[in-house]
Amino acid sequence: MDHSSQDKNQDTEPATCNMQAATDNNHKAHKPMRAAADSSSKSKPAIRNRRFTIASSGNIGETNASSLGDVAVGRRRSTTYAEANSSPRRRSLAYTDLMAVFYPPNTLSQPLITESPFEETVAGDSASWEPTLERAIRSIVSIKAQCVRSFDTESSGTYTATGFVVDAQAGLILSNRHVVNPGPVVAQAVFVNYEEVELEPIYRDPIHDFGFFRFDPTKLQFMAAEEISLAPHKAKVGMEIRVVGNDAGEKLSILAGTLARLDRTAPEYGAGEYNDFNTFYMQAASGTSGGSSGSPVLDIYGDAVALNAGGSSKAASSFYLPLTRVVHALELIRHGQPVPRGTVQAELEHVPYDELRRLGLPVELETRARDAFPHAQGMLAVKATLPEGPADGRLRAGDIVLAVDGHAHVDFATLEAAVDAKVGERMRVSVWRGVAAHETELVVQDLHAITPSSYVEFGGGVVNNLSYQMARTYGVPVGGGVYVASSGHALGSAGAWRGSVVLRVGSSDTPDVRAFAQAVAKLHEGSRAPVRFFSLERPHKQRMAIMNVVTHWHALRMAVRDETSGLWIYEDLPRPLPVAQEEMQPMAAPSHLLPASLEPANRVWGSFVDVEFTAPFLVDGMRSTRFRGPGLIVDSSRGLVVCDRDTVPIAVGDVTVTVASSVVLPAKVVLLHPAHNFSIVSFDPRRLDGPPPPDLPVDHDHYAGNKRLEQGDVVHVVAVTGDQTPVVRQTRVAARTMVATAECAPPRFRCVNVEGVRLDDQPVCLGGVLCTGSGLAVGLWVSVSSQDSSGKDTTTMLGLDIALLRPVVDALRATGCAPPLRSLDVDLWPMRAAAARAMGLSAERIAQAEAAASSRRTPQLLYVAGLLAPNTPAAQLLNAGDVLLESDGKLLDDVSELAVVSAKAVDLVVLRDGHEISINVPTTELDAMETRRVVHWCGALVQKPYRAVLEQVRRLPSSVYISCTLYGSPANCYGLRPGMWIVEIEGRKVSTVDEFIETLHELRLSRCSSLKSGGSRYVRVTVVNKSLVTRVLSLRVDNHYWPPWRLELDAESPGGWKTIPHL
């Protein structure tokens, strides 16, 4: 949903711990790097090749007997428990009995993992791997997936990864949890022979980094799927392995390595990311990278001994998840049974014996543990507990786990098995704390119950229940509010960005998504409601902000995951009711006078308002969604307000006008001037009680165009800063010059063919007005947006003559409608007389230019610097470099005479190739709203090319222009990009948006019947890019998560736009 972006994603500090220095990353393909550190790293380097903030869960591993190593030769034999008890030191009966409880006799001889016979191959015997790999690659698939909505730790987007078949008959594929994804995902698997099958995400572990997809084996027509057996017991240090998968996005890569560790701490990927815990990981220097997530770690016999999950950014180290608990889950899924997962909301860590002694573990307990588990090198200890969880107040950080229900556990896998078997029940936990043993009873909570499986789409954003994953990272209680996975249009207006937790909306608490939906339903559409929330980065700092309740742009619905199919089922939610007209009571806007020391500002200050604009979609070349600046009331009886186009840049969006800093009124866009840098919006003046605000007082000579701002003029700047503080300053006009702006990427409006003024003393402000000493406006002080050579957005403050407003404002006052705006659609730029002389301009013409340049330092002429549209009459008749001499028989010395005209044609005299020629050039009518319709299809926002686009192409391929593609959508996944034109769909030519809609409608009808008979879900789309290069793309249509709709300009609808749910 939230595309653009347009969310302020809050980057988090990487977390660090105590044991190893290495940076980790999940092996999902192609995502911008995020900072994260290993759980043991003291530094904070960036991780490598991490596709998203992909949750990397791993399964609880085990410590293999061989992984802990044998006792070294020559080591002094530890004192046995029997020897300790026979020592002269007196032991109390209570202490002896306690030892027997912690380590009952029937557990002393139990090995941690039963070892199986294993034959190691001769190092370097590559021939022995050939049959193994030949069999294995038939089971390994390349996964391409789309995370269609931001959810929990995941962000919407597309990625590639790896999986492998573990049950060919049932069609089960094992991969990582961060591949299967906790949120809504659409995925396909590609086998080695390039057959593609649809995948259903049927299980993802709440904590560990594994999950299962399911496919239909009957859909494979040209090969039979084979499966890879899981053999976690075969892993041991020194084993030669092969990691086979989609490394770095390649179809198939085979990486060699040797298992070096079986008891590595779970890697950490940073705060706010998915992190595995309560498990061991394996480690080898296989150098895996993005795309290899979910690859099997194979032994010489072709069995999987581990699952590839992550890697280091500073070394070739790769991290593998042990498969013990994966095997357990797989067996349950095969038999159609749920996978029980329990938790007490406590994080454990494996602590070596030397540190355990420093924590207070008695020698006797260590001796007993070493004898019971001779291959273990430590025990489990409590690292942290979550507030308000089952273990809160009962377990403490540093507690050494001695036994659970009377059974000792020194590895994660056996302890997890014990906890999973007690879901909903009580269990006894014995720990050593400091100098004494303690025992407590804990209720085992269902881990699935605190893992979100639903979300609400609201105002273009997504919220879900606060998960255990996120709560654990930041140390906050689970269920303390709803997590903002994507802020969107509405929550973004309150500054509740991604990573926030919403506690209250309006007058209702929001502990979960159901309560959130009910709270939203109590609000009124178009109103403003308070929202209480906090950022997870600063959970102790709650904030209260005002949210614009706007739901008419987007769907308002709840999605719940179907655990059988993995599909998320939508349920429409009740929308906020519109405010009845009779309930809209007029509000008084108090007038505020400035101090006398700020004169002459008081005369114009009453006309100032604050204008805010929020764009729900990134159309017309927008890269941001929120804008704010000052406005000036030019007609209070009609509610007309003028502001710069850096404040209201496009027509698609919501506008509010704040009068006297106290009354917030909804407004609509009336006009976007296509050449000059101003917009006009209107509010309903009936919503104001008492005397209306005064119209902006203007100097009539300047307003009529009889005078203009010139170099040396004394003016008073009356402007505002971001906190609405007035700025009043007397200064002089430093220069009068052409406004210079560059073509932007993506293409967006830029101010052209306008002269502006610069001031000697330019204040730092948002904008305002230039006025005389008596307080009459002679110019607008505006912000002009552009880009520099590196593509970075820039703004420049300039003064524009007040006369530029007159044609538009007078027409709106007289008729209520914007006047017709026409232009030559050429970019004009001044030329010095010396340059014109070199081009063959006569001395007579130069003398005329000098006579007209009385107010300028040097005479100048105008020439065509470029064309603003490729398909206009001016583009056919005028050439770049033409010097314009006359317009309709008058000497042309002012660019404003041609920037916007009213005539349908202009008689020009131009200098071309040293000769003067006369040309009658038809003008082009410009749209005062620029965009009147937007179509959404498969995540692509399509519109008619707007003026800034036409300027940057030499030929228009069609009138079906892609202005934006949404993350995680089919358009984003299959190669549709902003800036492309669609010219054909399934071989049918589409030249206009109307033809595009009609073709999609016909295609949808035919596609429905085709799918029923087993037809393809893919559609061929022919596109042309800016360089006029043609490509044919195949796009998988998804009407479930990405239904088609269109926006159309409609004065009667909220915000001035109507949403039509179907094409």
Helical axes 412-420 vs 324-334, angle rounded to 10°: 30
Q: Are 59 and 175 in contact (CB under 8 A)?
A: no
Q: How far apart are CA 363 and CA 174, in angstroms?
A: 43
Nearby residues of 379 by Cβ (< 8 Å), 6 or more positions away: 350, 351, 353, 356, 361, 369, 400, 401, 402, 410
Cα torsion for 26, 31, 32, 34, to the nearest 10°?
A: -20
Angle at 552 between CA 547 and CA 557, to 5 degrees: 85
Structure tokens at 756: 């502006």
Phi/psi region, residue 888 (left: phi>0; alpha: psi -120 to 50; beta: rest), is left
Q: What is the rounded CA–CA span in Å between residue 830 and residue 477?
A: 65
Length of the chain as a residue count: 1063
| Other CB atoms within 10 A of residue 997 CB | 20
**Closest to 450 in 3D by CA, of 342, 554, 587:** 342
Which residues lie across from 244 on neighbouring strands? Answer: 254
Count of Cβ atoms closer than 10 Å to residue 666 Cβ: 20
- Report the alpha-carbon distance of residue 50 to residue 44 in Å, rounded: 15
Query: How many Cβ atoms from other residues are within 10 Å of residue 650's Cβ?
Result: 24
Q: Is the peptide bond before 184 cis (omega within 30 degrees of 0)?
A: no
Tell me the torsion sign for CA atoms 190, 191, 194, 198: negative
Q: CA angle, corner 654, sides to 1040 and 533, nearest 5? A: 75
Mutual angle of helices 363-372 and 93-102, in 10-degree steps = 30
DSSP state letters, 758-807 = EESS---SSEEEEE-TTS-EEEEEEEEEEE-TTS-EEEEEEEEEGGGGHH
Spatial separation of the C-alpha atoms in residues 720 and 766, rounded to whole Å: 6
Report the alpha-carbon distance of residue 490 to residue 547 in Å, rounded: 6
Which residues are the active-site residues? 178, 209, 292
The Cα 1057–Cα 489 span in angstroms is: 15
The Cα–Cα gap between 182 and 55 comes to: 8
CA angle 608, 614, 619 (to 5 degrees): 125
Please give the single-letter amino acid code of residue 202. I
Q: CB within 8 A of 642, min separation 6: which ones?
A: 631, 632, 634, 678, 679, 680, 696, 780, 805, 809
Q: What is the rounded CA–CA span in Å between residue 464 and residue 926?
A: 45
Q: Give the torsion sign (CA, 151, 153, 156, 158).
A: negative
CB 170 within 8 A of CB 138: no
**Cβ–Cβ under 8 Å, residues 162 and 221:** no
Q: What is the CA radius of gyration of the chain?
A: 35
Query: How far apart, in whole angstroms, are the C-alpha atoms of residue 1025 and residue 1031?
Result: 8
